Amino acid sequence: MARLAGSRAGWLALSGEPGVGKTRLLAELLDGARARRHLVLTGRGAELEREMPFGVWVDTLDDHVSAIGEDALERLVGDRRDELARILPGVPAPRRAHAAALHDERYRAHRAVRFLIEQLAASCPVVVALDDLHWADDASLELVAHLLRRPVRGPVLFALAFRAGQIPPWLGALLSTATCDGLVSAIAVKPLSAPECGVLLGDGVAPADRARLYELSGGNPFYLEQLASIRAREPAFMNGDAPATVPEAVAAALGQQVAGLSAGARLLVRGAAVAGEPVDLGLAAATAGIDDDLVLAGVDELLRTELLTTTDVPCRYRFRHPIVRRAVYETAGEAWRLQAHARAAAALAERGGSAQARAHHVERFAAVGDEQAIAILVDAGSDAAARAPACAARWFTAALRLLPQDRRALPRRLELLIAAAGALVAAGQLEQGLDALLEALALVPPAAGAMRVRLIGACAGCENLLGRHDAAHARLLRALADLDGQSAIDAAALRVELAADAIFDSDFVAMLGWAEQARATAREHRQPGLTAVATALVCFAAYTLGRLEEAEDARVQAATALDSMSDDELAAHLDATYYLGYAEYFCERYDDAIRHLERGIAVARASEQGQFLVPMMVALAFSLEVRGRLAEARETAESAVEAARLADNPQLTGLALLAEAWTAAMSGRVEQAVRAGEEALASIAGLDESVLTRANRETVAAAFIEAGDPDRGLRLAQDAGAPDFPQVDPGRRAWLYALLAQAELACGRRAAAEDWLVRGERAICSLDLPLRTAAILHTRALLLLEDDRPHDAAERARQAVEHAQSVGATLQVARSRTLLATALGRTGCREEAVALLRDAETQLAACGALRLRDAAARELRRLGRRSATRQRRGAGGEGLDALSGREREIADLVARGHTNRSIAAQLFVSDKTVESHLTNVFAKLRVGSRAEVAERVGRARAATA
């Protein structure tokens, strides 16, 4: 509570055995929050509804957002409303039919919830209490993890309660890490001592009975109360044999309590146990199958006996304790429960309930061959696939169990197996996903060659994600041999898969061979999509082998083919944009790479294909960084990390973390860069060596050097293959040598720096790669300046600027201008140096490259001039006060979640005008992302509330 008073966010984690008092402690916390007029939001996991997507968060937020109203919610969260609608029934349905619905991007819904909570906290402190988290569904736990990794800004307290040892190990590890970092306060709730039990029982219980009850309860307060209740009703209980275990005694006590109810109340409470929590009175009555005249009398009796308790919502109740609900559910009997679930499903259908809510009940009573039940389960799986793939996999698997075992059902079984496999892979359950794919493959007849090839490719992709590169390669070779010349097009598709598979082993000679064979066959049979994919792979392989003319020729052909394809055609060959985007990045065609990758990502979303999403986002982040669009690059990289985490795959996560580490380093966010780099290294620990593990170490080494830790970067470079880097392409190798030379120079080792640089000059001499050449020239200028040769240094720096300009490498241009100005200043050309530094500082500030901007500002001060960006900020005040009226208006809209396009529409200006104003906002506030703008605006609102 004290942290909230200081506008700081925090977490409280209560753990302990069932009945030990976690819920009671949460209740005390919430009473204190309400007394301070804080906003209290509560939700609880339900043991019997663990498959309901985002169930805990729906329980926590849905009533509140419904009460806010559509217009107020729109003002509060802006465009994020559509994402909230995907998980909260109380939010009106998305307005845009084309809104993204990829399971790989369900982090967008997480961000929307995070933003909603931050906006609520701008008005008053918020306490979010999540009880019985051990029963939460996977989607709810993913959201909890997101909020732990990306802590909210503002006065928000998250209070969690769960049974010790019953949450997933990965969440327990995340909470432990956050506890060590000071974000989470962890409390292990222990049983009561014997004296404390005596206080709870009161003076009306004899000392001997107190001791006996303490012994039976083990100090557990809930068990103690139930056992004391038995003793009060049946004094002989204390003299007889004790139950074997405390839970059995508690169950007996609750069973007796239920048996003592009137017939109507007993049916109603059983109906409530089946219908689910929180208890909707009407649904519970329909599930119980009782008349209305029994309902009101029954609910009064249940409240009087405290089997149910009231909530803040009329006609909504909760069981006093989850153990109570479980005991009631079990006393109902199997036959009665089956009929009750059927009644609940029928009642929900009449009410227009969601497919997931109906599927929860249908799964429990449907028999094999029940077509209506199968349809409901498939609908539930399809609805949940985008945001809760683990739940979707459950529904698809349940539908598979109900399918008849006959040949007529084989097409539907195949369809469901493929859907289940996609959901399982998206949920990170790669082994189970591979099993489903193999089962599907066994159902595909040999004549269906195209489908077999797709499934074989998906199986190999799964195996590669699992690190089983040899198995994936063998599977593809075996499939190609099995074709035995039957289908040239299917063979070409398999050769494309083999070319892509060769990347993992860095066997670029084999990659080029497979890709060229596939391209020739695809051209011969006039398959433009397959030709585009194969040609993009030819470009990729030729570049990596240093055959740049061949790579450029293939790049032009692939780009022409891709640009001529419609979105529908491209959706069938989405890997073309993936491989071409990377090839264009390597070939230093950054605008082309950005254009193709952005289109590929858009088509992936529209066609609901997520298999290439994370790698495309990573390539896009790197390309945006080169062009100086650092805020977009960091946001893209961080999104890739969140998507990869949800896939629960270390290779993908490590790849995405590379982009986060690098873009953070270039933004001057040293802590973030180091943290992401260290996690990237940890993610590949124990994996087989591959191109991804090598790229991981190389890029993290580079990020550490850029983040100001040259010694660490040099050490890691040794593990990455230095000094020869035998499996790294020549262009990247030259760039690495330039960075290593700069690292040695930063450590004061001039001779070692020279050695690395000479290697780089040799590597780049025969390559037409302007940006890599600029990096070498820049580093040579640094060494010449170190040798007190400023005129020669200025010449090299000027050449570096020209080379970087030729490919639009904005950041390298600006940093080389800073170096050029430094050299010119030492030659006496002060005015030219000052002009260059002002340009560089302005450009770097606009890009969000804070560390590089500060370096330019320091050089200005050395020349006796003030920082250009500091002068502009001072002219109009500090922080938000420095913004013009239009800039402040745009900042406010950004804080409310609006996109540039939405802002442009509201203000009747062009997208470019909004982008220009936003660049000024970033520079004046000295921030690098939209999220930081929102944070500044939110703090200002809170301060004036």
Residue 450 is predicted with a pLDDT of 84
Only one residue has tokens 């302007």, namely 770
The residue type of 391 is C
Average pLDDT, integer, range 557-569? 93
Contacts of 824 (CB under 8 A, 6+ apart): 790, 794, 830, 832, 833, 836
β-bridge partners, 183: none
SS3 93: coil
Residue 521 is predicted with a pLDDT of 95
* Highest mean pLDDT pick, 87-101, 669-683, 861-875: 669-683
Condensed to tens digits (0 to 9), the pLDDT of residues 500-513 reads 999 888 889 999 99
Q: Are 448 and 488 in contact (CB under 8 A)?
A: no
Dig out the tokens for 709 from the structure. 């830790």
Q: Is the pLDDT of residue 691 over 80?
A: no
Average pLDDT, integer, range 114-125? 92
Residue 908 is predicted with a pLDDT of 58
The residue type of 190 is K
Residue 905 is predicted with a pLDDT of 64
Side-chain-facing half-sphere of 673: CA atoms under 13 Å? 22
Q: How confident is the model at residue 145 (pLDDT cuts 50, 70, 90)?
A: very high
Inter-axis angle of helices 930-944 and 885-895, nearest 10: 100
The residue type of 481 is A
SS3 897: coil
Which segment of 77-81, 554-558, 564-568 scores lowest on mean pLDDT? 77-81
Residue 343 is predicted with a pLDDT of 96
**C-alpha torsion angle, residues 879, 881, 887, 889 (rounded to 10):** 110
| First-to-final CA distance of the chain | 19
β-bridge partners, 161: 14
DSSP class of 13: E
Condensed to tens digits (0 to 9), the pLDDT of residues 550-562 reads 999 999 999 999 9
Q: How confident is the model at residue 478 (pLDDT cuts 50, 70, 90)?
A: very high
Q: Is the pLDDT of residue 649 over 90?
A: no
Cβ neighbours of 464 (radius 10 Å): 20
Q: How confident is the model at residue 907 (pLDDT cuts 50, 70, 90)?
A: low
Q: Which of 648, 688, 644, 653 has the alpha carbon at shortest distance from 506?
A: 688
Rg of the chain, C-alpha, whole Å? 32
Average pLDDT, integer, range 932-945? 69
Average pLDDT, integer, range 36-49? 91
Condensed to tens digits (0 to 9), the pLDDT of residues 570-606 reads 988 889 999 999 999 999 999 999 999 999 998 888 8
Residue 237 is predicted with a pLDDT of 59
Q: Are 666 and 844 in contact (CB under 8 A)?
A: no
Residue 819 is predicted with a pLDDT of 96
Report the largest interatomic distance among the alpha carbons of the chain, rounded to a whole angstrom.
104
Give CA 823 to chain center in angstroms: 45
Residue 94 is predicted with a pLDDT of 64
Condensed to tens digits (0 to 9), the pLDDT of residues 425-473 reads 888 788 999 999 999 999 998 878 888 888 998 899 888 878 788 899 9
Average pLDDT, integer, range 882-887? 76
Which segment of 524-538, 875-889, 891-905 scores lowest on mean pLDDT? 875-889
Contacts of 133 (CB under 8 A, 6+ apart): 45, 56, 141, 144, 160, 161, 162, 167
Its pTM surpasses 0.75: yes
Q: Is the dihedral of CA 754, 757, 762, 766 positive or negative?
A: negative
Q: Is the pLDDT of residue 271 over 90?
A: yes
Q: At CB < 8 A and 24+ separation, what contacts does 366-369 make?
A: 366/402, 367/402, 368/401, 368/402, 368/403, 368/404, 369/402, 369/404
Q: Is the pLDDT of residue 82 over 50?
A: yes
Average pLDDT, integer, range 409-435? 90
Question: Could you please report the per-residue DSSP string of 718-730?
Answer: HHTTTTT-TTS-H
**Beta 279-280 vs 316-319: how paired, if at all?**
antiparallel
Q: Are 521 and 489 in contact (CB under 8 A)?
A: yes
Q: Are 276 and 285 in contact (CB under 8 A)?
A: no
Dig out the tokens for 819 from the structure. 């170096």
Q: How confident is the model at residue 696 (pLDDT cuts 50, 70, 90)?
A: confident
Residue 475 is predicted with a pLDDT of 93
In whole numbers, what is the pLDDT of the chain averaged over residues? Answer: 88
Side-chain-facing half-sphere of 117: CA atoms under 13 Å? 28
DSSP class of 11: E
Average pLDDT, integer, range 103-129? 89
Q: Is the pLDDT of residue 265 over 50?
A: yes
Q: Is the pLDDT of residue 873 over 60?
A: no
Condensed to tens digits (0 to 9), the pLDDT of residues 764-785 reads 998 999 999 999 999 999 999 9
The residue type of 147 is L
Q: Is the pLDDT of residue 709 over 60?
A: yes
Residue 349 is predicted with a pLDDT of 93
Q: Is the pLDDT of residue 668 over 80?
A: yes
Residue 871 is predicted with a pLDDT of 43
Round to whole Å and give the CA distance between 498 and 484: 16
Residue 906 is predicted with a pLDDT of 64
Condensed to tens digits (0 to 9), the pLDDT of residues 823-865 reads 999 999 999 999 999 999 999 998 989 889 989 999 998 888 8
Q: How confident is the model at residue 754 (pLDDT cuts 50, 70, 90)?
A: very high
Contacts of 864 (CB under 8 A, 6+ apart): none
Average pLDDT, integer, range 482-496? 87
Q: Which of 273, 293, 297 has the alpha carbon at shortest distance from 284?
A: 273
Q: How confident is the model at residue 245 (pLDDT cuts 50, 70, 90)?
A: very low
Dig out the tokens for 517 from the structure. 């064979």
Average pLDDT, integer, range 685-694? 77
Lay out the sheet containing 308-310: strands in order across: 279-280, 316-319, 308-310
Average pLDDT, integer, range 803-827? 95
Average pLDDT, integer, range 616-636? 94
Average pLDDT, integer, range 489-504? 91
Q: How confident is the model at residue 102 (pLDDT cuts 50, 70, 90)?
A: low
Dig out the tokens for 527 from the structure. 């398959």
Which segment of 178-187, 356-365, 713-722, 879-888 scores lowest on mean pLDDT? 879-888
Q: Is the dihedral of CA 581, 627, 693, 145 positive or negative?
A: negative
Q: Is the pLDDT of residue 15 over 50?
A: yes
Round to whole Å and give the CA distance between 232 and 365: 39
Q: Is the pLDDT of residue 241 over 50?
A: no
% of the chain surpassing 90 pLDDT: 55
Burial class (CB within 10 angstroms; exposed 0-12, middle 13-18, buried 19+) of 770: buried
Round to whole Å and give the CA distance between 563 and 310: 61
Q: For 607-638, what is the HEC assignment?
A: CCCCCCHHHHHHHHHHHHHHCCCHHHHHHHHH
Q: Is the pLDDT of residue 294 over 90?
A: no
Only one residue has tokens 């109900």, namely 402
Residue 223 is predicted with a pLDDT of 85
Average pLDDT, integer, range 491-520? 92
Q: Are 731 and 725 in contact (CB under 8 A)?
A: no
Residue 945 is predicted with a pLDDT of 46
Residue 877 is predicted with a pLDDT of 53
Residue 235 is predicted with a pLDDT of 64
Round to whole Å and give the CA distance between 852 and 856: 6
Of 237 and 702, which is predicted with more confidence?
A: 702
Only one residue has tokens 């509804």, namely 49
Contacts of 714 (CB under 8 A, 6+ apart): 701, 705, 740, 743, 744, 747
Residue 236 is predicted with a pLDDT of 58
Residue 70 is predicted with a pLDDT of 86
